[in-house]
Amino acid sequence: MHNHRPTDRLEYFSDAVLAIAATLLATELPKPETETGLLQAIVREWPSYAAFVASFLFICIAWSNHHNMFIYIRQTDQYLLILDILFLIFVTLQSFTTGLLARHVGKPDERTAALIYHATLVLMTFFYNTIWWYAINKKTLLEEDTDKRLIRSLTKEYAIAPALHLAALIICLWSVPFSILPILFLYVYFALPRVSEKKINKEANSNEHGQA
């Protein structure tokens, strides 16, 4: 039960923060209080709903990736913990930046709000990557039998999110609507079956055979 430095409670705490951050997003949705024209009032608030769905998906992707990453990390240390905390700070800021963006779409400060939104996502996914970079450089933290080619392909795969969010940030300086393109690309990428996963499956199957 009480192992040396298990990753269990780190995963648990991160999962809980991610789940709460995802669920709290809905509390930021604007509540139309109009006596009549409710449907129009809701339709007019479409940016809020789009931003809610986008952020919900970002947090779920972050959760899914975090979950996959810790299949390979077998223990934590002080610095891995600090990097995870920095990642979680930007996760919890999602509800704030999502609300900010939703309230300013189509208004003078749209660009500022979108830049803050994208910047938070760049930092969230960047710190996510630092957890991985730190773990693979300090070999004692990884599961012993982790394949080197798998590590390399996961490193590339994880780096795509901050790269695309940075692209969205830069495009945003010229055009806010076009900054959605890298985001859509990220969703499509996440929905496609990934090379590293096939490798994981193969490896896991051979492990099972080995143990049987």
Contacting a copy of itself within 8-27 (CB under 8 A)? 8-9, 11-13, 15-27
The three-class DSSP label of residue 15 is helix
| # binding residues, a copy of itself (CB under 8 A) | 77
DSSP 142: B
Task: Tell me if 86 sits within 8 A of 127, measured CB to CB.
Answer: yes
Pick the closest to residue 13 from 63, 78, 73 (CA basis). 63
Which one of the spans 87-95, 123-131, 160-168, 177-185 is the region binding a copy of itself (CB under 8 A)? 87-95
Query: From the list 45, 47, 85, 150, which residue makes contact with a copy of itself (rule: CB under 8 A)?
Result: 85
- Interaction between residue 81 and a copy of itself (CB under 8 A): yes
Structure tokens at 140: 């004692």
In the complex, minimum distance from the CB of residue 175 to a copy of itself, in angstroms, rounded to a whole number: 18
48-77 residues near a copy of itself, rule: CB under 8 A: 53, 56-57, 60, 63-64, 67, 70-72, 74
Binding residue for a copy of itself, selected from 47, 96, 119, 151, defined by CB under 8 A: 96
Q: How far is the CB of 49 from a copy of itself (least distance, A)?
A: 9
88 binds a copy of itself (CB under 8 A): yes
**Close Cβ partners of 134 (under 8 Å, ≥ 6 residues apart):** 79, 80, 83, 141
In whole angstroms, the minimum distance from the beta carbon of 159 to a copy of itself comes to: 19
Cβ pair 161, 186 in contact under 8 A: yes
- Pick from 103, 97, 117: nearest CA to 47: 103
Residues 173-192 within binding reach of a copy of itself (CB under 8 A): 191
Would you count residue 31 as binding a copy of itself (CB under 8 A)? yes
Burial 163-200 (b: 16+ CB within 10 A, else e): ebbbbbbebbeeebeebbebbeebeeebeeeeebeeeb
Enumerate residues 100-129 that contact a copy of itself by CB under 8 A. Answer: 100, 103-104, 107-109, 112-113, 116
